[in-house]
Structure 1
């Protein structure tokens, strides 16, 4: 049996088991629907669960506690309440309370695997590794098919590479995972190394190597050479050398799409792992009740704005590479093309590098969404010549093409929706013979659903025409239309009679159109497609049906008797580009009691309403559109949006019968520092700016993983408080921060002198730490910008008034090229010259960098320095001076021997979004006495703070934060992994090693240094401070590795 066949048969066996159980329950619900009513207790329990999970995701665990306590009160013998209440306490850092809840849960439901899994996380958090492993083993015993639990046990067993017994256990578990996920390269790489460590079954390592060679055939040959060399060493029994090369091969592939996909199959990146679904016993108590039909009719067709089909193709706007702009997939009958948006109003054909294998055929219809629930957008194409194709998104611009629904012949149209309300996108496919529904198991594998039997057609759409919350099916054929109502119990009934009977030949044509017998014979007057929108903006969905040349509107009359919600998404587009402007590809969910609906924003609609801005050039505007029917429900529990960059937003308790414009909330990067000034804590700056783990750079490479080793100048305004120098380090954004070491450096120096340090960011190596003591600062004789404007006053002092105040560019962090030109005047250049530039930078992020890396016309250029030659030409003498490492930082640039003529002018040139606030220079060596003292923290306490109020002192200043106004509500979804328990953490900050303080959003470390450990300040001297910190930052961007 060859490898692809083996993979097809065994792939995700566990999901099959889960899916079959759901089918049995679904069948039970349908059978009992007509005799039972839903228990109000059950509906209330689901509402508590919905609200609790929403509060957890919105980082408001205190509110979630109340919801889950209520849930336990209703269902004391269900594990879900105890598990999620423990997670809520866990996120509040109330670990003891979380442990007590889990113990209560295990007493009530002793055989629930998830409770033991969460208990193991609590033990890990408490540093009790042995007990954590014991609970993991119990969780696996209760649920042997849990991939994540088994993989976590594997990682534990592989920690000690010299423990042969642990390695043998890891091999057994890895072989088990290999049977379940045979194409997971993480499993294959771990298994090959474990086998080499144990020196057993080397032949299996050879087989794994061959499989990896097939699975990774499209990667760089420079990477493959390590796999090939490892396989060669296996053949000659050089086991140590083979193991080394397999490990190198794994390490250099960790940022690859295949490896990241493999990790995603094994680990859920959610802190505490809340249970999102009730167990099967609870579900068996649910009853699917038939929705009561309402009187709905459809109007006679009328002409609509003509949209010519043009050539025979289908086009889809989709951000397939999650870089914040919309790319274009074009499906012709004989080929498929992907044109990547390079961000400069141009599109590059990247079909050859996108599709694997590259298709030599086309299709007729396309739909998109996350079909395998792995967090990225996939595509399904209906192809008359090749059947249905799934384009599985591997990320980083790669789509793997596989054939699905092999029994389906000559499909012409496909649509996707979650019509069974289980959180996975199902599909409906029509051929010219019949129309079929397919249920999604949850992993992108589809099973035929026999509840709908219909003739075929030319097009098919899901539509909730009566707003009852259950998706109906509309089929468009050449001369007729069919409509099937979903009654909420998985039964579809034919209600085609609601649509007036007519064919294209019955309708009047436009004056410019003449239908001839030849047109009729060629099919030009047949129905060829349909669209579903709320064209008259009255809260129910209308039907638009078309021939090749004409469009006719069939209006829905009465569907809005039931409740509805319509959602338009609007991303922050100007100067940002984190998400496409319309939110296309975002996941939208609505939860209302026992009704759950989910969809993806897949298309734009043209708004013809009178609400369009009259100042626009066109009387129409395009917008995203999502519609949910809600039946008799007057208020939903939660509306949830997950943007394409992975950031979730929730609207709590929205009322029905309204249109909601939901705007994107921005995230950011880097922890913040506050210092005590004698009266209050003041925001000073940001920290760890150099160490963004997993960030993709603007040239498409991975940023350095070196720790930050960050020095920031605090100045002389920090004052003691109760015998200590006290600072606050906060994490306020969507990221995880790792602090390895913190030191306070006191620099004592004479009154009348100042000290500065170099606080710039450059690619490695970072500048060496040096304290620059200055007696006299000099300002340039003149300063102008790239437009010739005098900016001397703007650069004269640090005041949040900038030399160049940029207009936003297409991408946050990149603007038009600009410079400041400084004339240092008549100075002697034989002496040492230092230039000091203070300012801040508005940075890019990983998703923006991915977009920039694809755009050849946009090339972010670090600031560089030019001077005049004897010929009067500007020449670059320092190619890269760096940028401020965050907010309000100073660069120290050595100009000694850099001038090439008698002209003392210089230019700082860049197209990065840098704001220069102050510029001065010094001459010669300043003989200043200094006493430098480094001290470790005496105490450090980690606790929850919340989020200080954000403000900007001037329109172009960085965002600053008011420590006196703190919002205690959590704002961000927790990123997966373990965080340091609250309490004393001073020991973890003493030196740079493998033990770090790991902070979540909303956390704060109060770090204190006793004043008496610093020397007594001399008369006539002042004390300035520098903070040293070492660590890393990892943000929640979807493209961050």
Structure 2
């Protein structure tokens, strides 16, 4: 909770919420925060609902002031993993949403934000489930109460919308006691398996996407689960199909399934392993043997069952030092020795039962984090809740759904699993090959993308050149239900030194290594013959045909601006002097991936002698958004979509006004764009501002004035062959500060 990687304890006592942190050196517990709660709140769940929930970080765009670069970088690194989870307390009296910020003074560390959240009108709340139902990068909530199932969409501004009307839900009188988030039918979206006290209440809220669920009862094959009070997930037989462990009045049972095709789940076998009534169950691997064990809590106290894989569970006699009947329990590795300990809440407070010997087998703790909490991508919630973890060791397959910041994996005698694969909630898989056992594995979320890559033969090998089709994003939504414009052609400039002949032919590779599919109707290579003392640039940029039509720009006398400063007064003249990978970055932090505070870079072109034609050339790259990010932004009333670059110039009185509403922008990886400035200036004041809230990094800026026409000759080369084949995936190269992935 306080980012020291040690176990903390959050508990609800009668009418009291408490957070205790622990000093590992002194082995002492400290009450870090507490607050009074209304009567009737008996349970809670925790979730990072507000993405980066600390008062130190801006959630909306602000204009930055000058900063010390080293100090800013150090502060950014120090906050790499600090994001607080909120507490959602619930019970017979309703629901309260408690925001946590341990950086604040004592009295302000816990704040009740229920009223502002918009979640109201709930009574007899039996279950609350944090889940990214829209796959837009933030955690939403699904509640089960006397009012039935409710679906709450996270707007990104600490408030929620009730979007239940768009789903086909169970009848209002069906109240669920337990809900678990999982891609139940393996079709790459999160469903909800739920059950309640009523007969035949077991079913699946099938995610049909766009923030909508469809209720499907599971039927007669699941008789033992018809009125479960607690459901847990396991793949007992490692057949890549989720099994259920249910507890309730009739005891505990394992239901094994098969998933022959995505979207189809069939019941295989139902195996009871306890006749004792229980109200809660939890899967856990106490002995790290790679087989999931199970703990139940009922009127007869805690009971532990050892996992036997496809054979189910058997009583684990002697697991507990003595019979114990707590009000609640949880597990965590308190002493950081690699096995899971047991925390129990009794009338005497919180007690820990330490695991003795569970670490004789090997283990891994997996912690998935966002790329940078100070400026999150927003594609996946920060702790990757709901993501799928798969561990492969030879023929042994172990799947888990991430439900908390740390996922513990027992490995048995395996010292080095073959791989750990994390499939994030946006569908992107990330693989850690052959991690060492007995350690914590931190996995940072990497970027996904949608554009093809181009590789050119440079004489000895193929080398990455750039990405393509940025102007043709079929189906990209700029907001909910709003399609971005698409242009079906582009002309990319390929410098002569980036392509060499191979056996008398020029060979390029266009690859699909990322997220979406490209559709190609024509690929043409055009040779441009020009004088050797002239540099050639294309007119390519992301924008409508009116500003991006095919045109060659010949540059013989490039000019540099007299000055280049941003809105905070920082001088970027040196960074923009040449294309060298040193970028002008006018923003201090992004609000979401692709969205920053309002910025501008002001260029002074100096004294010009009544020019007729001025063309500005800018080299840079843009960090993209995508449909998920754009939809999430459109749900947050505080935020606007990124404003792409415009040109501002002074009027006759010296007041800045917008003269080019949209100048276009470089598509993806570093590219050079040309902007016509011939008609934007008034009088002899040749200053301009490039204003935007898009996340753009500029590498070079120069301009031309009344360049004389240059004779060029173009010739389309004959396409000799084109074939479609499997190529594989390129490894990412190390990247410098502010460089794009490559």
TM-score by length of structure 1 reads: 0.53
Aligned to 2:24: none
Residues 1:384 and 2:197 aligned together: yes
Q: Secondary structure at the match of 2:492?
A: strand
Q: Superposition RMSD on alpha carbons, in Å?
A: 3.7
Residues 1:472 and 2:286 aligned together: no
Could you say if the C-alpha distance between residues 950 and 369 of structure 1 is closer, same or farther in structure 2, counting changes exceeding 3 Å? closer
Post-superposition shift, 1:373? 1.7
Post-superposition shift, 1:489? 5.7
Contact 1:459/1:475 (<8 A) preserved: yes
CA distance in structure 2 between the aligned counterparts of 1:681 and 1:448, rounded to whole angstroms: 53
Q: Secondary structure at the match of 2:202?
A: strand
Q: Secondary structure at the match of 2:184?
A: coil
Could you say if the C-alpha distance between residues 358 and 825 of structure 1 is closer, same or farther in structure 2, counting changes exceeding 3 Å? farther
Residues 1:539 and 2:338 aligned together: yes
CA distance in structure 1 between the aligned counterparts of 2:583 and 2:621, rounded to whole angstroms: 10
Aligned to 1:357: 169
Aligned to 2:179: 366
Contact 1:480/1:501 (<8 A) preserved: no
Q: Deviations over 1:541-579 (max 9, x none)?
A: 333333699433333333344444443333424543443
Residues 1:885 and 2:646 aligned together: no
CA distance in structure 1 between the aligned counterparts of 2:179 and 2:490, rounded to whole angstroms: 50
Q: Secondary structure at the match of 2:471?
A: coil
Q: Deviations over 1:963-1019 (max 9, x none)?
A: xxxxxxxxxxxxxxxxxxxxxxxxxxxxxxxxxxxxxxxxxxxxxxxxxxxxxxxxx
CA distance in structure 1 between the aligned counterparts of 2:234 and 2:389, rounded to whole angstroms: 12
Q: Secondary structure at the match of 2:523?
A: strand
Could you say if the C-alpha distance between residues 446 and 662 of structure 1 is closer, same or farther in structure 2, counting changes exceeding 3 Å? same
Q: Deviations over 1:647-679 (max 9, x none)?
A: 334445556544433444544453444556789
Of the three residues 617, 639, 644, the one matched with 1:862 is: 644
Could you say if the C-alpha distance between residues 545 and 359 of structure 1 is closer, same or farther in structure 2, counting changes exceeding 3 Å? farther
Of the three residues 249, 259, 276, the one matched with 1:455 is: 276
Higher share of residues assigned helix: 1
Q: Secondary structure at the match of 1:852?
A: helix
Q: Where in structure 2 are the equivalents of 1:766-915 lying within 5 Å?
A: 767-804=548-585, 806-827=587-608, 831-856=612-637, 857-899=639-681, 903-915=685-697
Residues 1:494 and 2:274 aligned together: no
Contact 2:566/2:586 (<8 A) preserved: no
Contact 1:760/1:891 (<8 A) preserved: yes
Could you say if the C-alpha distance between residues 434 and 864 of structure 1 is closer, same or farther in structure 2, counting changes exceeding 3 Å? same
Contact 1:572/1:579 (<8 A) preserved: no
Post-superposition shift, 1:881? 1.4
CA distance in structure 1 between the aligned counterparts of 2:161 and 2:384, rounded to whole angstroms: 23
Residues 1:643 and 2:424 aligned together: yes
Aligned to 1:690: 471
Post-superposition shift, 1:884? 0.5
Could you say if the C-alpha distance between residues 875 and 702 of structure 1 is closer, same or farther in structure 2, counting changes exceeding 3 Å? same
Could you say if the C-alpha distance between residues 926 and 537 of structure 1 is closer, same or farther in structure 2, counting changes exceeding 3 Å? same
**Count of matched residue pairs:** 610
Could you say if the C-alpha distance between residues 782 and 642 of structure 1 is closer, same or farther in structure 2, counting changes exceeding 3 Å? closer
Contact 2:149/2:169 (<8 A) preserved: no
Post-superposition shift, 1:938? 4.3
Post-superposition shift, 1:683? 5.1
Post-superposition shift, 1:952? 6.2
Post-superposition shift, 1:438? 2.8
Contact 1:952/1:958 (<8 A) preserved: no
Q: Secondary structure at the match of 1:557?
A: coil
Post-superposition shift, 1:449? 1.4
Of the three residues 474, 488, 491, the one matched with 1:711 is: 491
Of the three residues 742, 767, 771, the one matched with 2:523 is: 742
Of the three residues 324, 341, 346, the one matched with 2:137 is: 324
In our comparison, the structure showing a higher alpha carbon Rg is 1
Aligned to 1:270: none
Q: Secondary structure at the match of 2:530?
A: strand
Contact 2:378/2:593 (<8 A) preserved: yes
Contact 2:547/2:664 (<8 A) preserved: no
CA distance in structure 2 between the aligned counterparts of 1:626 and 1:850, rounded to whole angstroms: 33
Contact 1:477/1:528 (<8 A) preserved: no
CA distance in structure 2 between the aligned counterparts of 1:335 and 1:888, rounded to whole angstroms: 52
Could you say if the C-alpha distance between residues 901 and 337 of structure 1 is closer, same or farther in structure 2, counting changes exceeding 3 Å? farther
Could you say if the C-alpha distance between residues 871 and 311 of structure 1 is closer, same or farther in structure 2, counting changes exceeding 3 Å? farther
Please say which of residues 371-380 and 467-476 is displaced more in the overlay.
467-476
CA distance in structure 2 between the aligned counterparts of 1:766 and 1:395, rounded to whole angstroms: 37
> Highest relative contact order (Cα 8 Å, sep 6+), 1 or 2?
1
Structure 2, gaps ≥5 residues long = 1-86, 93-124
Q: Secondary structure at the match of 2:629?
A: helix
CA distance in structure 2 between the aligned counterparts of 1:813 and 1:489, rounded to whole angstroms: 47
Contact 1:481/1:496 (<8 A) preserved: no
Contact 1:573/1:581 (<8 A) preserved: no
Post-superposition shift, 1:700? 5.0
Could you say if the C-alpha distance between residues 892 and 633 of structure 1 is closer, same or farther in structure 2, counting changes exceeding 3 Å? closer
Q: Deviations over 1:467-522 (max 9, x none)?
A: 44433332212452233334446254434554355455xxxxxxxxxxxxxxxxxx
CA distance in structure 2 between the aligned counterparts of 1:677 and 1:423, rounded to whole angstroms: 44
Residues 1:929 and 2:685 aligned together: no
Of the three residues 399, 404, 415, the one matched with 2:232 is: 415
Q: Where in structure 2 are the equivalents of 1:87-98 lying within 5 Å?
A: none
Contact 1:718/1:725 (<8 A) preserved: no
Post-superposition shift, 1:785? 1.1
Contact 1:459/1:528 (<8 A) preserved: no
Residues 1:530 and 2:311 aligned together: no
Residues 1:590 and 2:391 aligned together: yes
Structure 1, gaps ≥5 residues long = 1-306, 505-526, 605-622, 961-1041
Q: Secondary structure at the match of 1:356?
A: coil
Q: Deviations over 1:810-850 (max 9, x none)?
A: 43322222111123344466833332222222222444344
CA distance in structure 1 between the aligned counterparts of 2:226 and 2:334, rounded to whole angstroms: 34
Higher share of residues assigned strand: 2
CA distance in structure 2 between the aligned counterparts of 1:704 and 1:899, rounded to whole angstroms: 29
CA distance in structure 1 between the aligned counterparts of 2:235 and 2:428, rounded to whole angstroms: 22
Q: Deviations over 1:850-898 (max 9, x none)?
A: 4334334142111112222345432222222111123332222223333
Contact 1:343/1:851 (<8 A) preserved: yes
Aligned to 1:966: none
Could you say if the C-alpha distance between residues 723 and 414 of structure 1 is closer, same or farther in structure 2, counting changes exceeding 3 Å? closer
Q: Where in structure 2 are the equivalents of 1:288-367 lying within 5 Å?
A: 311-312=91-92, 313=125, 314-332=127-145, 334-344=147-157, 346-352=158-164, 355-357=167-169, 360=172, 362-367=175-180
Post-superposition shift, 1:371? 1.3
Aligned to 1:264: none
CA distance in structure 2 between the aligned counterparts of 1:789 and 1:317, rounded to whole angstroms: 43
Post-superposition shift, 1:639? 3.6
Q: Where in structure 2 are the equivalents of 1:645-684 lying within 5 Å?
A: 645-652=426-433, 656-673=437-454, 684=465
Could you say if the C-alpha distance between residues 936 and 766 of structure 1 is closer, same or farther in structure 2, counting changes exceeding 3 Å? farther
Contact 1:671/1:729 (<8 A) preserved: no
